[in-house]
C-alpha cells in the first residue's frame, strides 16, 4: 500500500473514530448522573464514569491532532478492551450487545498500525 493511500485511510479512520468518541464521551458527561448509576449497577465505582467520559472525549480530540494520534489510540484501546470485557461478563446481551465496542477496538488497532512509524531498513 502506498504511503498516500495509507495516509488517506488513516485520516478517514481518525475522523470517524474521533466523532464517535467525542459524541460518546460528551453524551456520558451530559447525563453524568445516569452514567454513574449505570456504572455502579455494573459493580464499578461511580467516579469511573467521569473518568471514562473525560478520557473518551479527550481521546477523540487527540485522534484529530497528528502528534497525539498514537497515544490517544492506545488510551482508547485500553478503554475499549474494558468495554468488551464488561459486555462479555456483566452487561446483558453479552458480546452480541458489545459489537460496537469490538468494531471500535479493531478499528483503533488498525489505525495504530497505519500510524506506526516505518521500520528503518539497513542498506
What is the three-class DSSP state of 120?
coil
What pLDDT score was predicted for residue 122? 60
Instruction: Give which of 25, 106, 102 is closest to 62, Cα–Cα.
Output: 25
Per-residue pLDDT of 74-108, as tens digits, reads 999 999 999 999 988 888 877 777 899 999 999 99
Mean pLDDT across the chain, nearest whole number?
92
The per-residue pLDDT for range 25-44, each reduced to its tens digit, is: 999 999 999 999 999 999 99
Residue with the larger pLDDT of the pair 97 and 24: 24
In percent, how much of the chain has pLDDT > 70? 95
- Which sequence spans correspond to the domains of the chain? 3-114
Please check the confidence at residue 121 and state whether its pLDDT lies above 70.
no
Helix (H) or strand (E) holding 84: helix 69-89
Read off the DSSP letter of residue 91. S
Distant-in-sequence, close-in-space partners of 17: CB < 8 Å, separation ≥ 6 = 60, 63, 76, 104, 107, 108, 111
CA-based max dimension of the chain = 59
Which run of H or of E encompasses 33?
helix 32-41
Q: What are φ and ψ of residue 118, in 5° steps? A: -65, 145
pLDDT for res 117 = 74
Stretch 103-122: mean pLDDT, rounded? 86
Amino acid at each position: 500500500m502506498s504511503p498516500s493511500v495509507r495516509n488517506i485511510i488513516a485520516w478517514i479512520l481518525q475522523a470517524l473514530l474521533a466523532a464517535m468518541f467525542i459524541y460518546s464521551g460528551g453524551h456520558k458527561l451530559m447525563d453524568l448522573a445516569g452514567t454513574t448509576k449505570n456504572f455502579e449497577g455494573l459493580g464499578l465505582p461511580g467516579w469511573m464514569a467521569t473518568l471514562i467520559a473525560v478520557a473518551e472525549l479527550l481521546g477523540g480530540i487527540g485522534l484529530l491532532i497528528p502528534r497525539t494520534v498514537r497515544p490517544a489510540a492506545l488510551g482508547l484501546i485500553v478503554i475499549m478492551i474494558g468495554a468488551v470485557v464488561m459486555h462479555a461478563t456483566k452487561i446483558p446481551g453479552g458480546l452480541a450487545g458489545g459489537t460496537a465496542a469490538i468494531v471500535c477496538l479493531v478499528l483503533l488497532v488498525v489505525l495504530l498500525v497505519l500510524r506506526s512509524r516505518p521500520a528503518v531498513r539497513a542498506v
